[in-house]
Amino acid sequence: MIAALVAGLLAGYGIAVPVGAVAAYLIALTTRTSLTTGACAALGVATADGLYALVATVGGSAVAAVIRPVLVPLRWCSAVVLIVLAVRGLAGALARYRERLTPTRAGEAPIGPGRAYLGLLGITLLNPTTVVYFAALVLGGHGEVAADQTRRAVFVLAAFAASASWQLLLAGGGALLGRALTGARGRLGTALASSLVMTALAVHLLIA
């Protein structure tokens, strides 16, 4: 049981800690909205990681075999989504900067907690390498986890908890950053940096 708990925590942090496009978008989203919205978005990311951990422990090699043939189309889809998010975020930041208004303009529908949760859940689920990562962990050294339902549940919950704790930490950092960067130039710079990171990672997906 302890082994499954430790394996789940290591798996969750292993997939969550490397800062990528999702992390950049999460921080930028929290910066321009609120900690509540950012926390819900963070839980959306963690939910996707938990679902992939469950799929990996249940499906194992069968899941990896299904994903690998369509890995290239899924990477293209992920890259397109990242580029759209980058362009949309930068365009919105430029519009707000020109008008010298606060992040939520009159007539602009703000992103609520529910929408943030579903949005980040969908974005994270588009990452096909996550399920291959978890499947490789289960097959490579934790086969006993998948063989027992209790250990499987502990592994999945631990992976979710690890991912959630890290994503919430990022959201908290985004909230602090939002308080520090209250000016129009500060928010524009944050949006620009986030968009550049997402675009770079999208390009990396296309040429990988």
What CA–CA distances, in Å, run from 78 to 57, 83, 171? Answer: 24, 9, 22
Q: What is the pLDDT of residue 28?
A: 82
Q: How confident is the model at residue 47 (pLDDT cuts 50, 70, 90)?
A: very high
What is the average pLDDT across 38-65?
82
In angstroms, what CA-CA distances link 12 with 5, 55, 58, 67, 193?
A: 11, 14, 17, 20, 26
Please report the pLDDT score of residue 164 as a whole number: 93
CA dist., res. 9 & res. 1, Å (int): 12
Residue 16 reports pLDDT greater than 70: yes
Which structural domain range is residue 28 located in?
2-207
pLDDT computed for residue 153 by the predictor: 85
Phi-psi category of residue 16: left, alpha or beta, with phi > 0 → left and psi -120 to 50 → alpha: alpha
Contact between 24 and 190 (Cβ < 8 Å): no
Q: Backbone phi, then psi, for 154, in 5-degree steps?
A: -65, -40
Q: Which of 127, 116, 134, 26 is nearest to 77 (CA)?
A: 127
* Single-letter amino acid code for the residue at 174: G
Is a pLDDT exceeding 50 seen at residue 62? yes
Q: Is 152 exposed, middle or buried (0-12, 13-18, 19+ CB in 10 A)?
A: buried
Distance CA 144, CA 196 (A): 42
CA-nearest of 141, 107, 113 to 42 is 113
For residue range 131-179, what is the model confidence (pLDDT) as tens digits?
666 666 655 555 555 556 788 788 889 989 999 999 999 899 888 876 6
In this predicted structure, which of 19-33, 65-79, 135-149, 174-188 has the lowest mean pLDDT? 135-149
- Using DSSP, state whether 152 is helix, strand or coil: helix
pLDDT at residue 19 greater than cutoff 60? no
**Domain count within the chain:** 1
